[in-house]
A and B are shown apart, each in its own frame.
Chain A
Amino acid sequence: MVFEWYWAGAILLGCVMAGMVLGFPVAFTFLITNIIGTCIFVVRGYSSFGEFIDGALRQIPQVVDNSPQLITSFTLSPIPMFILMGSLFFHTGIAIRVFDALDKLLGRIPGRLCFLTVVGGSLFSTLTGSTMANTAMLGSLLVPEMQRRGYNKRMSMGPILGTGGLAMIIPPSSLGVLLASIAQVDVGSLLVAGILPGFVLAGLYAGMIALQLVINPAGAPSYEVEPTTLKEKIRQVVVNIMPMGLVVFMVIGFIVLGWATPSESASFGVVGVIILAIAFRKLTWEAIKTSLIGTIRVVGMVFFILMNSTVFSQLLSLSGASRGLVQWATGFEIAPILILTIMFVVLILLGMFMDQVSMMLITVPIFYPIAVQLGYDPIWFSLIVLMSLEMSATTPPFGLLLFIMMGMVKGTTLGQVASAAAPFLLCDLILVIILVLAPELGLWLPSLMAK
């Protein structure tokens, strides 16, 4: 039986969506869809049920054989390293030292803990590739202190939700590496492309906090802090903050200088964190064990999904669904920017119900050919996709970061968390508009690197 592309797409995407909604673990949704898709689109030329079973048993081994194609790729090797870096920072206590130092640098300013969130979160984003780790760390360190200081829920949760997501765009970004691998764009260029937009976004967050403080100064009351001498401030910077430059240099510096590929520099990043932990006398066997098992929990889950989704992308292509959809989407006489907007909205809507990895795996095989056909730069388009992924992590009802925050601030409703995140989603949207109007913001650094 031969299916039109729209039926093929509807069957494959419908199976995945139905499986996810019915509560199948995401990886197994793809695995079972692959078996169903192979039986429908690959097994051909049978006249009886026996022949069909025989054909299926001959084709399914091909599914098994194709499954590891994507994850046995060297470009994915930074993902475990970036996640391990974040875990080690957290479990060795180095992250807390950095925050304590930054805390001493900020004087008695209104909303100081909110600004500390943005500064510390941006710095931590350059040291770890995990959004979850970033949000969990910021939340566990700062929310109790903010509550103690009388910050309202909006001011205590909002900046953390916004800044936590920065790890998705500021390099090193695990999701950035994953996206580059799936979409087959240059990992190094994408990581470097995220630097400027990431810091512009951090600036927008700081501006948003200042605006919120002007509107409602009682939301984050100022309080007396122990004065810190200039000498002490310099000591804090030299002892606790400047050494972090070693890790940033070993990851981003090595890539920019061409000493190591992005895949290789991640390993140097781990070595950098270990050197710092040894220097601070914080490296314990317990911290290593906890960090490794934490890494396995995230990496194992992501890689297992990735492995089972590889064949799904191949089935989309084989059944003609990808090609048909691209031809259909680019066949209208409408402005490319409108199609871009539709793709952006689809990503945000999917993100309301789905995790980032699943979203990427479903949409990348369809969206990237369309974007390229419309003349968009794949690196720039990847930044837009990463921004939409970042936004979707804080959109209700199922934004992952919202739930992490609810877990940390007991007695909070989803509505309160989502409302606190809303102003920072607006900042994300402003950055997307800036990127559309001035693509050079994302493409300038990769072009320098290429030279």
Chain B
Amino acid sequence: METFDRVLGKVSMALAWTACAIIPCLFTLIVIDVSIRSIGYNPPLFTSSVVEYALLYVAMFSAPYLVRIKGHVAIEALLSVMPHPLRRALAYIVYFLCGTSSLLFAYFSYQLMYYAWVDDILDIRGVDMPQWTQYLPMLIGFLFVGLEFLMYLIGRRHYYSYDLGEVKDGV
């Protein structure tokens, strides 16, 4: 399990760096597009479509890394004043529901991607984008988000900032 967790961490990190790499590509693309327009030529049609899809890739590729570093904002006020057993139980309910719902979304994203691929569905934007390219980052993102939460569920880490020892010792 340790090896799996380590590999999962590396994949999440690689996805996050991919999301990082997308951002410079985005502003470069936009600057080139506006510059071409400013000097009187027709800018490429694909810019807005590519930027729009790239925003989705940024969101989905950074999501698993954010789960690992506890970067998805949560309100801990009530949890922090709860009795330890209740807090522990609630934390595991959170991990379970977040993990399973993410895996469910990953499954449906796969289903949508498969049908979009087979039926060759196009998303009509500035340029027609193959619809499966919209579902691909959702499949990857939700899948690894789900797996990251499962790591919390099996007790490898704890998501919340209050005293971790209290919870882990009690497991």
Contact = CB atoms under 8 A, between A and B. Distances in A.
Interface of A: 20-28, 31-32, 35, 60-61, 64-65, 67-68, 71-74, 76-77, 80-81, 84, 259-260, 263-264, 266-268, 270-271, 289, 292-293, 295-297, 299-301, 303-307, 353-355, 397-398
A24 B102 CA distance: 13
Contacts of A20: 74-75
A292 B18 CA distance: 11
A23 B98 contact: no
B23 A67 contact: no
A9 to B, nearest CB: 21
A301 B78 CA distance: 22
Interface string B14-50: 0010011001101110110110001000000000100
B78 A22 contact: yes
Contacts of B65: 296, 300
B97 A24 contact: yes
A353 B75 CA distance: 8
A196 to B, nearest CB: 27
B97 A267 contact: no
B16 to A, nearest CB: 6
A74 B160 contact: no
Interface in B53-111: 53, 55-56, 58-60, 62-63, 65-66, 69, 71-79, 90-91, 94, 97-98, 101-102, 104-105, 108-109, 111
Given A23-B91, A80-B58, A297-B71, A292 B23 contact: yes
Contact of B74 (A26, A264, A304, A397): A26
Contacts of A304: 59-60, 62-63, 66, 72
Contacts of B55: 71-73, 76-77, 80, 303
Given A23-B79, A72-B52, A259-B38, A307 B59 contact: yes
Contacts of A35: 101, 104
Nearest to B67: A25
B149 to A, nearest CB: 9
Looking at B20, B31, B94, the one whose CB has the most chain A CB atoms below 10 A away is: B20
B138 interface: yes
Interface string B134-167: 1000100000000000000000000110000000
Nearest to B116: A65
Residue picked from B69, B74, B77, B98, most chain A C-beta under 10 Å: B74
A436 to B, nearest CB: 31
A26 B70 CA distance: 12
Nearest to A288: B24
Contact of A295 (B20, B31, B56, B77): B20
B112 interface: yes
Contact of A72 (B31, B56, B102, B159): B56
Interface residues of chain B: helix, strand, loop or mixed (majority): helix
B130 to A, nearest CB: 14
A296 B19 contact: yes
B8 interface: no
A268 B56 contact: no
B152 to A, nearest CB: 11
29 contacts: A22-B79, A22-B90, A23-B76, A23-B79, A24-B97, A25-B74, A28-B102, A31-B98, A31-B102, A60-B104, A60-B108, A64-B108, A67-B138, A68-B138, A72-B56, A81-B23, A84-B23, A264-B30, A292-B20, A293-B16, A296-B19, A296-B65, A297-B66, A299-B23, A300-B19, A303-B58, A303-B62, A304-B59, A304-B66
B30 A299 contact: no
Contacts of B101: 28, 31-32, 35
B20 A398 contact: no
A300 B63 contact: yes
Nearest to B32: A267
Contact of A21 (B51, B60, B78): B78
A80 B62 CA distance: 13
Interface in B103-128: 104-105, 108-109, 111-112
Nearest to A268: B31
